[in-house]
Structure 1
Amino acid sequence: MKQLIIIFTILIALPGVAQQNITLEECYQLVHKNYPLAKQTELLDAQNILEKEVVSTSKLPQFNLDAYATYQSDVIEFPIANVNIEPLNKDQYRATLSANQLIYNGGVIDASLDLKSAQYKTKQKQVEVNLYQLKQQINQLYFSVLLAQESELLLTAKQTELHAKLKEVKSGIKNGFVLPSSDKVLEAELLKISQQFQGLESNKLMLIESLSRLINHPLDDSTKFENPLVETNLHTNLARPELELFQLKKEELTTSENLLSKQNSPKLLGFVTGGYGNPGLNMLDNSFQTFYTVGVKLNWNVFDWNSVKKQQQSLKINKAIIDTETKTFELKTNIELNQQEKDIAKIERFITSDLEIIALRKEVLQSADSQLRNGVITSSAYITELTNLYEDENTLVKHRIQLQLAKANYNIIKGH
């Protein structure tokens, strides 16, 4: 008996457990976390570590192993008589192991590491920009689902009203107060409402599935989409990630200029070479010998035909190009914001008119309701007035959702 009670309790609780709520902000966070492009963030982290490690190896000793065997047609001979010096062998062999240690290179390695860091930041910000641009797509889907939800509620209210009116009409027909067949008109309208429910449900499921795929999070018809109260601030500056991306690109060019300025710096290396060969360093000893050399080496490209200077001028031109892209983006964004502000103001005026229209429609419907009860008008006339009120209420809901969508898009365009 106790087991049956427990099972019954679980079955009752299941619908509540299955239902989930979701907000617009959670959708933003989920797409930033789950969208396939977001995986690039971790990949770029790993790539940056590897690239910096490769650059840093230049500070470590560099080892080279060389070996060769040769046969030459002639060798050095000493044209002095009675000198006991054996001629060199025509076949010669040598193997060497060299170690080179960078001592000074003008800061090229550090500048290269700075450039890798700048490139990494630019790539990461580009991923952020690409993910940010998905927010307007989320807005469109999310508020479309909200509109479908609200439309279902209105349609349910209309259905409930018609069911109640159908009972009254049937009672009126029975008592002779209402014209016969008036109930058939109401029943036909209820069937039409059932069809409208099917259309709304199908469209809502399609929208939910699209949003679920976009954010890679399970959503279904039982999910409740919270209606956000979106507020806009017209007096804040643009804060789009694209502007940060433009700035990072310029910083990357600056680090490239710094690296170029060090390319022609003198490079000082220390080296040691050990070897074994025949002959060795003593060319008069015609036998296998071990040997070594130790020293320092200076390399300095004193003239590069202004190659570095021209590359730096090219980078400055790239900076100027980025400046024009930034200004173009700001101009385009401000135009979009201006249009969005006008849309918000227009929808707000529509809502004010909607409320006035609905108030009048309710008065008309109240009068029609009284006339139907007294047999003055037909059910068709009543349905016409009820449908007019429903459509105007639906228009109000649509405008309210559009207003929230317009404000949400405004915030996305502005970067807030």
Structure 2
Amino acid sequence: MYQKIVIFCSLSLIFSIKITAQNTSILTLEDAYTKAEANYPLLLKEGLLNEVSELNSAIIKKGKLPTITLNGVGQIQSENLSIGTAGTPVNIDLPLGTYKGYIDANYNLYNGGLTKAQQQIEVAFLKMNQQKLKVSLRTLKDRVNTLFFAIKLSRQQQLLLNTSIQDINTNIEYMQVGYDNGTVLESELSKLKVRKLELQSEDIRFTGNIKAYFGVLNMLLDTTYPEVTELQLPEMGLMDYNPNISRPEQDFYDSQKDFLQAKESTINAGRKPKISLFAQGGIGYPNPVNFSDVSNATYALGGLRINWNILDWGIVEKEREKIKIQVQQTQVDKETFEFNIASQQKEFTEKITALQLQINNDTKIVALQKDILSQTQVQLQEGVINTNDYLIQVNAELSARQQLELHQVQVQQLRVNYLTLYGKL
């Protein structure tokens, strides 16, 4: 009883390990997209963009704080103010050499909303760069699609080859018996063996192709999926021949317009008055605030400053017009992009429809070729036809099945590419 329990547990463990191994050898198209994007070096730029944006925002906020500068100036001049003469009640003779060292402080009470506008620009600029990054990453989907279907087509063709090799093996065994009995010529048997070797060479070629495709795919995804990994396509259901476009390029164009409109807010802020407090204090010779004091003296002053550019000769209005035109250009670029995608809809639908009609014919051809091959195989074994006639039919039947599989994979690829083009995958 104990041995039975041990055996049962061992078998259960082996079965669970096998199931787990099988589950880990499945790669869906969506997972491949995610892994490719996560591994792509360009994705590192997103973190750098966020860091730069945070630094710029901090710099903008610091701009609201008071500014304090240390200044110094010394000069010699050929002439200076002189009041009165020696011996009179008022006699002021300012020196030709003067100097001044002081600290200057300024604090913006109101800058016309320029700080807020700069912050809006920084947010819009970051969003625009993030959308631009997504546009660059989207091309990875096309590369993954190409590799996925290259592998699937190679596998299907390889399966068809193996079926033909098995059929030829069956006839080689049968013909070998005839040759051993002296009823079949050696050349007839050799022709079958040659064709088997040719098909095996093609099988080796497909194996090499699959290995190479997986090598590129694993490099793109930073994974180690074996060549036996099952590649799963998403459930696509009924074909929607008029889907809405949902591409990152559209968001990129919108973010460009937002950025331009944010720039316009800084132009508006530049036309508003600026109000600030200022203060200055230091030491000078002679006294900078009392010209009658011809000595080294400390001093201080402060006040309120208003700055308003009331006449800009129409520069601001021209800047607004320029931004308005740039926004219109961006909208035209977006509409052109959407038009180019929508214009491919008819091409895709016609190709898919044509391939489906071909698949229907291919299916009928394959069925007929299989029947003919079965009859030919019987005729070969009965000695009614020779090996050449049989191999001609083997090649015809294999070609028909390969054509069917090719068209079936092409339809799948077209549908996936179509959904990818419209941003549905």
TM-score normalised per structure 2: 0.88
Shift of 1:307: 0.4
Residues 344 and 18 (structure 1 numbering): CA distance in 2 closer, same or farther, change over 3 Å?
closer
Question: Partner amino acid for 2:258?
Answer: E
Distance (whole Å) between structure 2 residues aligned to residue 258 and residue 364 of structure 1: 78
Local SS of the residue matching 1:134:
helix
Query: What is aligned with 1:297?
Result: 305
* Cα separation, 2, equivalents of 1:129 and 1:250: 16
In terms of mean alpha carbon deviation, does 198-207 or 77-86 score higher? 77-86
Q: Which amino acid aligns with 2:294?
A: N
- For 2:152 and 2:236, locate their aligned partners in 1 and report how far apart those are by CA, in whole Å: 14
Aligned residue type for 2:300: Y
| CA distance, structure 1, for counterparts of residue 377 and residue 24 of structure 2 | 38
State whether structure 2 residue 177 is matched by structure 1 residue 134.
Answer: no
Equivalent in the alignment of 1:257? 264
Aligned 1:139-178 pairs, distance under 5 A: 139-176=145-182, 178=184
- Structure 1 residues 216 and 224 mapped into 2: Cα distance closer, same or farther (>3 Å)? same
For 2:102, give the aligned amino acid: T
Instruction: Name the aligned partner's letter for residue 44 of structure 2.
Output: K
* Structure-2 separation of matches of 1:385 and 1:252: 67
1:217 offset after TM fit, Å?
Answer: 3.7
Partner SS for 2:70? strand
Please state how far the C-alpha of 1:228 moved relative to its aligned partner.
4.9
| Aligned twin of 1:353 | 361
Shift of 1:199: 2.1
Residue 333 (structure 2) pairs with residue 325 (structure 1): yes
Q: 2:397 aligns with which of 348, 373, 389?
A: 389
Q: Which residue of 1 aligns with 2:49?
A: 44
Q: What is the rounded CA distance, in whole Å, between the counterparts of 1:89 and 1:305 in structure 2?
A: 44
Q: Quick check: 2:83–2:92 contact (8 Å CA) kept in 1?
A: no
The 3-state SS of whatever aligns with 2:82 is coil
Match of 1:311 in 2: 319
CA–CA distance in structure 2, aligned partners of residues 401 and 228 of structure 1: 14
Deviation string, structure 1 residues 71-114 (Cα, Å, up to 9, x no partner)? 33333222153337563333322111111111001111101111
Superposed displacement of residue 370, structure 1:
1.3
Match among 287, 292, 295 for residue 295 of structure 2: 287
TM-score by length of 1: 0.90
Distance 1:398 1:239 in 2: 30
Q: State the AA in 2 paired with 1:205.
A: K
1:35 and 2:43 correspond: no
Is the deviation greater in 218-227 or in 113-122? Answer: 218-227
SS at match of 2:394: helix
* Shift in Å, 1:286: 2.4
Deviation at 1:145?
Answer: 1.3
State the 1:410 CA deviation.
Answer: 0.3
CA deviations on 1:304-345 (whole Å, 9 max, x unpaired) are: 011010111111111221222222222211111221111111
Residue type of the partner of 1:78?
I
Residue 109 of structure 1 corresponds to 115
Contact map agreement 2:98 2:284 (CA 8 A) in 1? yes
**Structure 2 residue 53 is matched with structure 1 residue 53:** no
Residue equivalent to 2:245:
238
Q: Which residue of 2 aligns with 1:211?
A: 217
Q: Report deviation, 1:121.
A: 0.8
Specify the alignment match of 2:375 in structure 1.
367
Secondary structure, in 3 states, of the residue corresponding to 1:262? helix
The one-character-per-residue Cα deviations of 1:192-250 (angstroms, maximum 9, x if unpaired) are 11221232233333333333344444455354433555444334311122122222212
Q: State the match for 1:335 in structure 2.
A: 343
Supply the RMSD in Å over aligned alpha carbons.
Answer: 2.5
Looking at structure 2, the residues matched to 238 and 413 of structure 1 have their Cα atoms a distance apart, in angstroms, of 8
SS of equivalent to 1:287? coil
1:243–1:84 distance in 2 versus 1, CA, 3 Å:
closer
Task: Give the aligned partner of residue 187 of structure 2.
Answer: 181
Matched-pair contact (CA < 8 Å) for 1:178–1:373: no
SS at 1:283 equivalent: coil
> 2:129 aligns to what?
123
Matched position secondary structure for 1:141 = helix
**Could you tell me whether the CA contact under 8 Å between 2:102 and 2:281 is conserved in 1?**
yes
Cα displacement (A) at 1:37 = 2.1
Q: 1:177 Cα deviation (Å)? A: 5.2
